[in-house]
């Protein structure tokens, strides 16, 4: 386990980067174009790689491998978030120039929620070894379910969200169009706007995805620092990847099968490794093997999507 200095340094880094993002680089509401989004994606990925190198230098090869594997797991599983973001923004007709602002504040909430989930998960694993079987079984179930479930994009209705229904009972909501702030005051009463409702639904979706992704990363490392930092780096880059890929995400329809395979494999790994440990067998599925499986599944799914859908991709590029 790392010392408090590493935690303080990482928190300061995140605060500085988010402050620069909001108050310097994106202080105006503008449409983020694909080229700029790609450059920002490369920037965030570069920061994650640089951090991984520093982990290798200060904490050693094993921790660096755990971070890299955890980062790739979280980033790949976050692809599902991108589909949900597209549906949410489309349903509420949020203009592209305001989407970055909502996603930014969504990250703030995600950072807090992920910390609570991770520390709770690590504490459970250290206290009860059998929790690994529950996490593993849940991931296998989720992967199999994802493999066979049909797309619900046409029937998607975020207003059915339980969190939203509870919130509407607590605070009044205005449906006035063209309001680009989270709250508005009418007379002596404050109302939440559609902007805040979208933010609330995005936070709720991240909470649901965290239930899958955090146990998956815990299969790689039980060090809270490695699990948390890999999660946060993936989340920080998710907005840029969203704007870079939102126009072509529909063409990578085989990604769903890769994600289902990744979840099922990681769930099996958790159960298998825990069983071998308890039985005293000198067997395990290593993080290097996990890394190979994740990269292979993602690569194959992307290639298959491009080959099968080549005609559509050609039309998009023209």
Tens digit of pLDDT for each residue in 71-91?
988 888 777 677 777 777 777
Which among 115-124, 206-215, 248-257 has the top mean pLDDT? 115-124
Tens digit of pLDDT for each residue in 240-268?
777 777 666 666 777 778 888 888 888 88
At 150 the pLDDT is 63
Backbone angles phi, psi at 183, to 5 degrees: -135, 155
Task: Give the number of other CB atoms < 10 A from CB of residue 264.
Answer: 20
Strand ranges (DSSP E) for the chain?
183-186, 189-192
Question: CA of 249: how far to CAs of 23, 111, 160, in Å?
Answer: 29, 25, 25
At 309 the pLDDT is 67
Can you say whether the dihedral through the CA atoms of 239, 154, 161, 78 is positive or negative?
A: negative
Collect all residues with Cβ–Cβ distance below 8 Å to 60 and sequence separation of at least 6: none
* pLDDT band for position 49 (cuts 50, 70, 90): very high
Structure pTM?
Answer: 0.77
With a pLDDT cut of 70, the percent of the chain lying above it is 85
């Amino acid at each position: 386990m790392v010392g408090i200095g590493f935690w303080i340094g990482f928190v300061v880094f995140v605060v500085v980067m988010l402050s620069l993002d909001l108050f310097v680089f994106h202080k105006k509401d503008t449409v983020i174009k694909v080229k700029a989004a790609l450059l920002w994606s490369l920037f965030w990925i570069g920061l994650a790689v640089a951090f991984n190198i520093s982990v290798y230098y200060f904490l050693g090869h094993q921790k660096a491998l755990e971070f890299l594997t955890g980062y790739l797991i979280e980033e790949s599983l976050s692809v599902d978030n991108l589909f949900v973001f597209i549906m949410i923004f489309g349903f509420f007709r949020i203009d592209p120039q305001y989407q970055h602002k909502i996603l930014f504040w969504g990250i703030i909430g995600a950072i807090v929620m992920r910390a609570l989930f991770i520390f709770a998960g690590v504490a459970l694993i250290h206290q009860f070894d059998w929790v690994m079987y529950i996490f593993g079984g849940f991931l296998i179930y989720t992967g199999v379910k994802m493999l066979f479930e049909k797309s619900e994009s046409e029937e998607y209705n975020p207003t059915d969200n339980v969190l939203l229904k509870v919130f509407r009972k607590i605070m009044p909501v205005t449906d006035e169009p063209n309001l680009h702030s989270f709250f508005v005051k009418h007379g002596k009463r404050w109302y939440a706007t559609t902007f805040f409702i979208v933010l609330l639904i995005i936070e709720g979706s991240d909470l649901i995805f965290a239930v899958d992704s955090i146990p998956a990363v815990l299969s790689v490392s039980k060090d809270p620092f490695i699990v948390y930092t890999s999660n946060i780096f993936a989340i920080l880059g998710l907005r840029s990847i969203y704007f870079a890929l939102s126009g072509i995400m529909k063409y990578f329809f085989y990604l769903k099968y890769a994600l289902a395979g990744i979840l099922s494999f990681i769930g099996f790994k958790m159960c298998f490794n825990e069983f071998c440990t308890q039985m005293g067998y000198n067997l395990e599925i290593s993080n290097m093997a996990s890394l190979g499986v994740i990269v292979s599944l993602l690569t194959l799914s992307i290639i298959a999507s491009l080959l099968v859908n080549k005609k559509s991709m050609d039309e998009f590029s023209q």
